[in-house]
Amino acid sequence: MPVIIRPTEEKDHADVHQLLTERWTAPEIMLDDDMVDASRLPGYVAYDGDELVGLVTLIKRDGEWEILTLDSINRWGGVGSQLLDAVSTEARQLNVPRLTVRTSNDNLDAFRFYQRRGFRLEKIGQGVIDRERELKPGIPLRGDYGIEIHDEVLFARTL
């Protein structure tokens, strides 16, 4: 049975909350010095039968949508790409001209993923993760590949 990608609904909240807690330590994500409950944001879910296998959450602003979280339980299986495609399709239909996404400086897999899908590096927020860590001490000091985590990197894609 294929993975089903569809917009997030209220009935998904418990699964979404659990996935965000497992993958991000909590559904509350720091964004510009504010805590945002990603479990209550619009987005898309990916279900394989009854199992939530992927999620993308969005901040929808005039002129751009920001991907706050994008998770695929089975990396390299195509679910992340399908979720991003669903977001891009809806944004184009609504004449949203661009998508943005932020990631930490250690997340080389995200750098690769987004750049291969047309996103370009736009800005580096030096020390952003260090400041977030003061409010959310669960953020580790080192991340992927043993790289120290300090900065936030913004990628953007014109649609």
**pLDDT tens string for the chain (159 positions)?**
789 999 999 999 999 999 999 998 889 988 887 889 999 999 999 999 999 999 999 999 999 999 999 999 988 789 999 999 999 999 999 999 999 999 999 999 999 999 999 999 999 999 999 998 888 888 899 998 999 999 999 999 999
Angstrom distance (rounded) from CA 84 to CA 87: 5
Contact 120, 156 (CB under 8 A): yes
Q: Residue 127 belongs to a domain with what CATH number?
A: 3.40.630.30
pTM (2 d.p.): 0.92
What total of structural domains would you count in the chain? 1
Q: Residue 142: give the domain boundaries.
A: 4-158
Angstrom distance (rounded) from CA 109 to CA 154: 14
The SS3 call for residue 60 is strand
Give the C-alpha distances (Å, rounded to integers) separating 157 from 17, 43, 50, 82, 88: 28, 18, 32, 16, 10
